[in-house]
Amino acid sequence: MSSSEHGFQHPVPSEITPRSVYEGRRHWLRQMAAGALGPALASWAARDALAQDKLAALPATRSTVPGAQVMDKPTARADATSYNNFYEFGTDKADPARNAHTLKTRPWTLAVEGAVKKPKVFDLDELLRLSPMEERIYRLRCVEGWSMVIPWVGWSLAELIKRVEPTGNAKYVEFVTLADPKTMPYVGSRVLEWPYVEGLRLDEAIHPLTLLAFGMYGEVLPNQNGAPVRLVVPWKYGFKSAKSIVKIRFVEQQPRTAWVKAAPQEYGFYSNVNPKVDHPRWSQATERRIGEDSLFAKKRPTLMFNGYEPQVGQLYAGLDLSKHF
Q: Which of residues 286-315 bind ligand MTE (CB under 6 A)?
A: none
Whether the Cβ atoms of residue 63 and residue 234 lie closer than 8 Å to each other:
no
Q: Kindly write out the interface string for residues 41-80 of this chain, putting x where it contacts ligand MTE by CB under 6 A and - elsewhere.
A: ----------------------------------------
Count of residues that interact with Mo ion, criterion CB under 5 A = 4
Q: Kindly write out the interface string for residues 227-256 of this chain, putting x where it contacts ligand MTE by CB under 6 A and - elsewhere.
A: -----------xx-xxxx------------
239 near Mo ion, judged by CB under 5 A: yes
Q: How far apart are CA 34 and CA 226, in angstroms?
A: 23
176 exposed, middle or buried (CB, 10 Å; 0-12, 13-18, 19+)? buried
238 near Mo ion, judged by CB under 5 A: yes
Compare residues 30 and 289 and give the one whose CB is closer to Mo ion.
289
C-alpha triplet 97, 223, 236: angle, nearest 5°: 90
Q: Which of residues 137-176 bind Mo ion (CB under 5 A)?
A: 142
231 near Mo ion, judged by CB under 5 A: no
SS3 of 227-267: CCCEEECCCECHHHCCCCEEEEEEECCCCCCHHHHHCCCCC
Compare residues 250 and 259 and give the one whose CB is closer to ligand MTE.
259
State the nearest-atom distance from the C-beta of 146 to Mo ion, in Å.
Answer: 8
State the nearest-atom distance from the C-beta of 117 to ligand MTE, in Å.
Answer: 28
Instruction: Single out the segment in contact with ligand MTE by CB under 6 A; choices: 86-94, 152-160, 202-210, 311-319.
Output: 86-94
The bridge status of strand 172-177 relative to strand 134-141 is unpaired
> Quick one: what does residue 241 bind among Mo ion, ligand MTE, none, with the CB cut-off 5 to 8 Å set by partner type?
ligand MTE
> Quick one: what does residue 269 bind among Mo ion, ligand MTE, none, with the CB cut-off 5 to 8 Å set by partner type?
none
DSSP annotation string for 8-68: SSSPPGGG---HHHHHS--HHHHHHHTTTT-HHHHHHHHHHHHHTTPPPB---EEP-STT-
Long-range contacts of 274-278 (CB under 8 A, 24+ apart): 274/304, 274/305, 274/321, 274/325, 275/301, 275/302, 275/303, 275/304, 276/304, 276/321, 276/322, 277/321, 277/322, 277/325
Q: Which of 85, 156, 271, 311 is the binder for ligand MTE (CB under 6 A)?
A: 85
Q: Which of residues 85-114 bind Mo ion (CB under 5 A)?
A: 85
Residue 83 φ then ψ, to 5°? -125, 90
Q: Which of 16, 140, 153, 170 is the binder for ligand MTE (CB under 6 A)?
A: 140
> Quick one: what does residue 84 bind among ligand MTE, Mo ion, none, with the CB cut-off 5 to 8 Å set by partner type?
ligand MTE
Q: How far apart are CA 247 and CA 124, in angstroms?
A: 12
State the nearest-atom distance from the C-beta of 141 to Mo ion, in Å.
Answer: 8
Q: Which of residues 8-47 bind Mo ion (CB under 5 A)?
A: none
Chain residues binding ligand MTE by CB under 6 A are 84-88, 140, 142, 177, 196, 225-226, 238-239, 241-244
